[in-house]
């Protein structure tokens, strides 16, 4: 059975709606990346040094990351030798197989939830990456699953951040615990945890500052928040999600490295994948950091925040090629 057929079968039990969200959300990356690979394979036919150089350029252009690309090309060279591949067309399934390998993780991609009591999820990340929107969409998702949710407005330093979270709270029908602008974020978290306990909520989603005077101040503030939450709810926060804007490409990778080292990040959220042709950054981040991608933003709608799925991701990228293969197989049979 061909790789693409196996890939298609492995996601056939997933809902068609989710598959379509992935396909639609990744259409710009598919055009910029996979179609260029397809064009290269059609034009070159033969696998030689120039072929590898062009493939490198396409991968780096999609923000897959130089280190990751070099490793990927080395692995492709080894596979070509091992399998004695001469025709460039035979490289398509090998490439997609390697991409799934890079994206897959031993860690569970699902969000870690408390065995009992309140699940606390903390959101970190610089301003403007879509942190508040992600919190609102995740609150909607938990509510639609029948869970009770509370929001904590811990980003007290950015003008308009509290109001922005309140707008999402009203839209989703979830209460926001807040203090006035400029308040101590750790004090807001203390109030939020007490409110969550009193109301017996299932999930507490906490926004935090994206920027203070300097990075050290920001990390100290986060540590203070951690201590307050852990003292009140042992084992919390259950997730510390770093939100990154996929449009910023390699800059997102730098942010992930900085926050990952210093703030105990347990998972990544990549937003705005639908508006970038550089979705390859998901591969770079997943490969270069030992932090699982948990959620991805694939559009404006509430439902467009999806749990990351490496097979769905690669299937959505290579959707056109899979169709072509099926049509050509059908033509051969005739």
**Residue 119 is assigned to a ligand binding site:** no
**Residue 201 is assigned to a ligand binding site:** no
**Residue 129 is assigned to a ligand binding site:** yes
Report the alpha-carbon distance of residue 311 to residue 10 in Å, rounded.
8
Contacts of 170 (CB under 8 A, 6+ apart): none
**Residue 271 is assigned to a ligand binding site:** yes
What's the chain's Rg over C-alpha atoms? 22
**Residue 244 is assigned to a ligand binding site:** no
Note whether 291 and 268 are within 8 A (CB).
yes
**Residue 274 is assigned to a ligand binding site:** yes
**Residue 273 is assigned to a ligand binding site:** yes
Torsion angles phi and psi, residue 120, rounded to 5:
-110, 125
**Residue 272 is assigned to a ligand binding site:** yes
- Sheet containing 305-307: give its strands across: 175-177, 149-154, 203-208, 119-124, 239-245, 267-271, 293-297, 305-307
**Residue 84 is assigned to a ligand binding site:** no
Angle at 293 between CA 282 and CA 100, to 5 degrees: 60
**Residue 262 is assigned to a ligand binding site:** no
Paired sense of beta strands 239-245 and 175-177, if any: unpaired
**Residue 127 is assigned to a ligand binding site:** yes
**Residue 69 is assigned to a ligand binding site:** no
**Residue 128 is assigned to a ligand binding site:** yes
Report the alpha-carbon distance of residue 50 to residue 125 in Å, rounded.
40
Q: Is 42 left (phi over 0), alpha (psi -120 to 50) or beta?
A: alpha
**Residue 131 is assigned to a ligand binding site:** yes
**Residue 125 is assigned to a ligand binding site:** yes
Q: Which residue has the tokens 């800059």?
A: 251
**Which residues define the annotated binding site?**
125-132, 207-211, 271-274
**Which residues define the annotated binding site for GTP?**
125-132, 207-211, 271-274
């Amino acid at each position: 059975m061909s790789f693409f057929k196996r890939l298609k079968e492995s996601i056939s039990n997933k809902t068609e709606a989710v598959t379509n969200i992935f396909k639609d959300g990744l259409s710009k990356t598919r055009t910029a990346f996979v179609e260029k690979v397809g064009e290269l394979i059609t034009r070159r036919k033969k696998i030689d040094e120039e072929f590898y150089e062009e493939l490198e350029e396409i991968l780096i252009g999609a923000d897959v990351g130089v280190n990751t690309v070099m490793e990927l090309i080395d692995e492709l060279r080894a596979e070509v030798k091992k399998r004695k591949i001469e025709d460039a067309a035979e490289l398509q399934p090998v490439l997609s197989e390697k991409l799934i390998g890079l994206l897959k993780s031993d860690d569970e991609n699902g969000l870690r939830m408390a065995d009992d009591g309140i699940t606390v999820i903390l959101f970190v990340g610089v301003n403007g990456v879509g942190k508040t929107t992600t919190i609102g969409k995740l609150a909607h998702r938990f509510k639609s699953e029948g869970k009770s949710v509370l929001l904590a407005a811990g980003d007290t330093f950015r003008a308009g951040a509290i109001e922005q979270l309140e707008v999402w709270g009203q839209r989703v029908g979830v209460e926001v615990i807040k203090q006035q602008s400029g308040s101590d974020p750790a004090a807001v978290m203390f109030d939020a945890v007490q409110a969550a306990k009193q109301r017996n909520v299932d999930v507490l989603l906490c926004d935090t500052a994206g920027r203070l005077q300097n990075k050290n101040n920001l990390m100290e503030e986060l540590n203070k928040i951690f201590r307050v939450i852990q003292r009140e709810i042992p084992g919390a926060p259950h997730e510390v999600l770093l939100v990154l804007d996929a449009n910023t490409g390699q800059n997102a990778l730098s942010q992930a490295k900085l926050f990952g080292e210093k703030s105990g990040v347990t998972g990544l959220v990549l937003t705005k994948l639908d508006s970038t042709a550089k979705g390859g950054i998901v591969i770079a981040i997943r490969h270069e950091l030992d932090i699982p991608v948990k959620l991805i933003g694939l559009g404006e709608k509430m439902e467009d925040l999806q749990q990351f799925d490496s097979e769905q991701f690669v299937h959505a990228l290579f959707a056109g090629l899979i169709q072509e293969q099926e049509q050509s197989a059908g033509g051969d049979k005739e």
